[in-house]
């Protein structure tokens, strides 16, 4: 079931934000066989403990990785937008150690591991880009870890906003000074190790200081320099190819 509507272009765009692709490589990516689905929040894509035979490319909407603890405690590990393949690592590490779920209505394309193996065997350049993508992922974990361990609630939110803006900009999903952020304050809290109540209070404070406004699923960054400074944000961990002027 090939994609007739070029939905795989979001993947090409993402990979090109990481490293250059040849025309052949672009072509090979775009003709990957996929199964497309539209998913609603509340229905997980893959679960902790699974051994999936496909990986999941996000085509639209927002998806997150998360882990659960007792007493309903949830930790969101990352957010994903169009172009991301959050469970790419299951190609090399069969057993899932986290779950994957849509946070909004999302379209995803399932790509068989077999297809990916064939692709990377044929195009070592693509294999290298995908490896880089996995390692950039790890760099993002390091940044989040630093935030959870040593940043205040205010700094954590500021840092997350910087990251999400730049990542979306890199794949053409952001406008000047604004980008989509259609997730609940609960989800933000679960990502930042905070309660939804406290997220709300910090957002109010940020709004008051005129740095950032989050409303109706849109993030508006009014003062990028101040925001980046408050977050001690250094974009190098995203390892983006392009500059990121705002």
Partner DNA sequence: CGCATGGTTGAGGCTCATCAACGCCCGTGG
Partner DNA sequence: CCACGGGCGTTGATGAGCCTCAACCATGCG
- Give the shortest CB-225-to-DNA separation in angstroms: 22
Contacts of 201 (CB under 8 A, 6+ apart): none
Asked if 154 interacts with DNA (CB under 7 A), we say: yes
3-state secondary structure 86-129: CCHHHHCCCCCCCEEEECCCEEEEEEEHHHHHHHHHHCHHHHHH
Q: Are 107 and 38 in contact (CB under 8 A)?
A: yes
- Give the shortest CB-203-to-DNA separation in angstroms: 6
What element of type H or E holds 23?
helix 23-30
Phi-psi region of 72 (alpha: psi -120 to 50; beta: other; left: phi over 0): left
Which option in a second copy, DNA, none does residue 135 bind, with CB closer than 5 to 8 A by kind? a second copy
Asked if 60 interacts with DNA (CB under 7 A), we say: no
- Give the shortest CB-164-to-DNA separation in angstroms: 15
Q: Can you read off the two tokens belonging to residue 222? A: 């009014």
Query: Which positions from 212 to 231 touch DNA by CB under 7 A, shown as an x/- string?
Result: --------------------
Which option in a second copy, DNA, none does residue 174 bind, with CB closer than 5 to 8 A by kind? none
What element of type H or E holds 230?
helix 224-231
- Give the shortest CB-159-to-DNA separation in angstroms: 13
Which option in a second copy, DNA, none does residue 195 bind, with CB closer than 5 to 8 A by kind? DNA
Q: Which stretch binds DNA (CB under 7 A): 30-38, 130-138, 185-193, 232-240?
A: 185-193
- Three-class DSSP category at 201: helix
Asked if 196 interacts with DNA (CB under 7 A), we say: yes
β-strand partners of 68: 74
Q: Which residues bind DNA (CB under 7 A)?
A: 41, 152-154, 184-186, 189, 193-198, 200-201, 203-204
């Amino acid at each position: 079931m090939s994609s007739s509507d070029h939905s795989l272009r979001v993947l090409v765009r993402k990979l090109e934000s990481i490293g250059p692709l040849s025309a052949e490589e672009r072509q090979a990516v775009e003709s990957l066989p996929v199964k497309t689905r539209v998913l609603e929040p509340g229905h997980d894509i893959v679960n902790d403990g699974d051994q999936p035979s496909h990986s999941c490319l996000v085509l639209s909407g927002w998806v997150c990785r998360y882990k659960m603890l007792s007493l309903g405690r949830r930790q969101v590990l990352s957010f994903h937008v169009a172009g991301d393949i959050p469970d790419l690592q299951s190609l090399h590490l069969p057993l899932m150690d986290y779950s994957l779920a849509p946070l909004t209505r999302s379209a995803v394309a399932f790509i068989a591991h077999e297809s990916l193996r064939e692709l990377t065997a044929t195009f070592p350049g693509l294999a290298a880009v995908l490896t880089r993508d996995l390692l950039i992922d790890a760099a993002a974990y390091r940044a989040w870890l630093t935030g959870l361990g040593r940043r205040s609630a205010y700094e954590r939110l500021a840092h997350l906003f910087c990251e999400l803006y730049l990542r979306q900009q890199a794949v053409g999903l952001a406008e000047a000074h604004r980008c989509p952020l259609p997730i609940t304050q609960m989800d933000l809290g679960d990502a930042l190790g905070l309660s939804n109540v406290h997220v709300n209070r910090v957002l109010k404070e940020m709004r008051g200081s005129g740095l950032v406004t989050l409303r109706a699923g849109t993030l508006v960054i009014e003062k990028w320099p101040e925001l980046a400074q408050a977050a001690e944000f250094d974009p190098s961990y995203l390892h983006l190819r392009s500059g990121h002027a705002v």
